[in-house]
């Protein structure tokens, strides 16, 4: 059974810092992993999807890596800004489906 | 990019009543899912909405409580039946245009039960 955990649960950093969010999953037989952003009271915005054949995926200041053998993914945010303040969720699919199992999220606050 | 519209965006309902949530996509999709996000928690999958047939429910969710329809490739509804305060959550629909591709979410329906 797939289980997904995220650390830290919350993070508060000054503007400009580079930071790393961590995601761990128990079933390494995944074909992709997705990172989302959720603003308070809003739905989810897809940030990055990284395929199992890839080690990294980049979009602007965001970089996601995937290491299936260790059951880990990281989301790297460069030069953080107050607008990056949100909850970040990772999600791994149940084997051979598109059904997602979500982590508990990391609540990020970037202060000026 | 494609638009996923969810209605209503929020509602306050009385105990024992039912509410139907709609999810409309502006292009045909392969998969549609319904998730629940309880207060302060992450998302949990309720069911897969299957076009033209009965939905596939996850453990802990049943059709009598959460009936789902998907009459075509762009539309689905989720009904929350006989509501109690424990049903107060955000309900979100999501879509996948092609298997293995990114999943995208509607803005969610914030439901409060008095």
DSSP B86-105: GG-EEEEEEEESSTTSPEEE
Residue ranges in chain A whose pLDDT is less than 70: none
pLDDT at residue A96, as a whole number: 85
Nearest by CB: B100 against A32, A44, A46? A32
Token digits of residue B31: 């998969």
Distance, in Å, from the CA atom of A44 to the CA atom of A59, rounded to the nearest integer, reads 17
Instruction: For residues B15-32, give the mean pLDDT.
Output: 96
SS3 breakdown of chain A: % helix, strand, coil, rounded to 5?
5, 55, 40
**Local confidence band at B1 (pLDDT 50, 70, 90 cut-offs):** low
Around Cβ A16, how many Cβ atoms within 10 Å? 11
Which 58-87 residues of chain A touch chain B by CB within 8 A? none
pLDDT at A41: 83
Q: Mark yes or no for CB contact A49/B102 under 8 Å.
A: yes
Is residue B98 within 8 A of residue B31, CB to CB? The reply is no
Dump pLDDT digits (tens) for B33-91: 999 999 989 999 999 999 989 999 999 999 999 999 999 999 999 999 999 999 999 99
Residue A14 and residue A18: Cα distance in Å, rounded? 10
pLDDT at B101: 85
């Amino acid at each position: 059974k797939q289980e997904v955990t995220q650390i830290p649960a919350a993070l508060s950093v000054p503007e400009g810092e580079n930071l790393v969010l961590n995601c761990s999953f128990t079933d390494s037989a995944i074909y992709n992993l997705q990172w989302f952003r959720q603003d308070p009271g809003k739905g989810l915005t897809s940030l990055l999807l990284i395929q199992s054949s890839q080690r990294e995926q980049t979009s602007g200041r965001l970089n996601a890596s995937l290491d299936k053998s260790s059951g880990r993914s990281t989301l790297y945010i460069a030069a953080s800004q107050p607008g990056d303040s949100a909850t970040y969720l990772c999600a791994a699919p149940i084997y051979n489906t598109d059904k997602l199992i979500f982590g508990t999220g990391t609540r990020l606050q970037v202060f000026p | 990019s494609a638009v996923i519209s969810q209605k209503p965006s929020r509602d306050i309902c009385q105990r024992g009543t039912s509410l139907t949530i709609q999810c409309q996509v502006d292009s045909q999709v392969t998969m549609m899912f319904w998730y629940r996000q309880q207060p302060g928690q992450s998302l949990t999958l309720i069911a897969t909405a299957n076009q033209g047939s009965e939905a596939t429910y996850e453990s802990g969710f049943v059709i009598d409580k959460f009936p789902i329809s998907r009459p075509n490739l762009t539309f689905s509804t989720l009904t929350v039946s006989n509501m109690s305060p424990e049903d107060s959550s955000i309900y979100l629909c999501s879509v996948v245009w092609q298997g293995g591709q990114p999943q995208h979410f509607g803005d969610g329906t914030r439901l409060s039960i008095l």
